[in-house]
Amino acid sequence: MSPTIPRDKSIVIACDVPDIGSLEKLVESTHSVDGVGAYKIGFSLGLRHGLPSIVSAIRRHTQKPVIYDHQKGGTDVPHTAELFAELMASSGIDYAILFPFSSPSTEEEWIRALQREGVVPVVGALMTTKDFLSEFGGFFTRSVVSRIFRIACGLGVDHYVLPGNKPEEAMELRMMIETHIHEPVFFLPGVGAQGGEVARLRAVMGRRWHCIVGRSVYASTDPAASASRLASELDA
């Protein structure tokens, strides 16, 4: 059973640092902050050092959950789902983020593969970039975003990624998901350097949500103090 975040709200630190030494320093300095719920790692550390080594480095300091964000996972063909899911499980990953833009069949296979391996799938469909939606010059329509989330809901997914720097869109999608899933959990990137504000999210999100914060913490001269300050705003 993967460890879960015991708090209804927390700060998830995005560890977009260059090497294992920097990662260990970041985790060592922040893991005792009560409001830190998990650590998110991405492709840079994963490809450079290997996921088992990265997870082991985090586990030397904390048992808080580790989230892997492939940036963007779930965009390949359906039959590669088992390879990805087995790697997540064998590496000790607790949650894996998917943005399944490839096809409905890929979305279903990748979600089901993670579920079989005991890794929590976290599904996103709307990114934090300004020009993501077609109405702002992007490739995807709102109906595509909604369809991805509806498919995930139909597969029993109860963890989702919504853009923390687009609070109105996040609220609309939260309400749609909540019509299908009882008490879903939301992860919100885009807080801090990308313009998202915790105070605005408090007004639009439900009971269970976690801010994903990167540069505002790991680039700070005092990461623990920055994480603690952001955590204190969650229930202010």
CATH number of the domain residue 189 falls in:
3.20.20.70
**Count of CA atoms in the C-beta half-sphere (13 A) of 158:** 8
> Residue 12: enclosing H or E segment and its boundaries?
strand 9-14
pLDDT of residue 3: 76
CA distances from 21 to 26, 28, 48 (A): 9, 11, 13
In a domain, 46, yes or no: yes
CA distances from 42 to 72, 81, 138, 156, 232 (A): 10, 18, 24, 25, 26
Q: Which of 112, 224, 123, 131 is nearest to 180 (CA)?
A: 123
The single-letter code of the amino acid at 214 is: G
In a domain, 13, yes or no: yes
In a domain, 1, yes or no: no
Q: How far apart are CA 64 and CA 32, in angstroms?
A: 10
**Tokens 């919504």, located at residue:** 162
In a domain, 216, yes or no: yes
- Supply the pTM of this predicted model: 0.95
pLDDT of residue 198: 85
In a domain, 3, yes or no: no
pLDDT of residue 192: 67
pLDDT of residue 193: 66
Q: Which of 95, 119, 114, 121 is nearest to 5 (CA)?
A: 95
pLDDT of residue 235: 83
In a domain, 182, yes or no: yes
**Is 99 in contact with 73 (CB distance < 8 Å)?**
yes
Counting as low any pLDDT under 50, the low residues of the chain are: none
Looking at the 3D structure of the chain, how many domains does it have? 1
Which pair of structure tokens corresponds to residue 228?
């603690």
pLDDT of residue 172: 97
The single-letter code of the amino acid at 47 is: L
Q: Which residues pair with 36 in a beta bridge?
A: 11
CB atoms within 10 A of CB 1: 5
In a domain, 2, yes or no: no
In a domain, 128, yes or no: yes
Q: Which domain holds residue 220?
A: 9-232
**Is 43 in contact with 68 (CB distance < 8 Å)?**
no
pLDDT of residue 43: 94
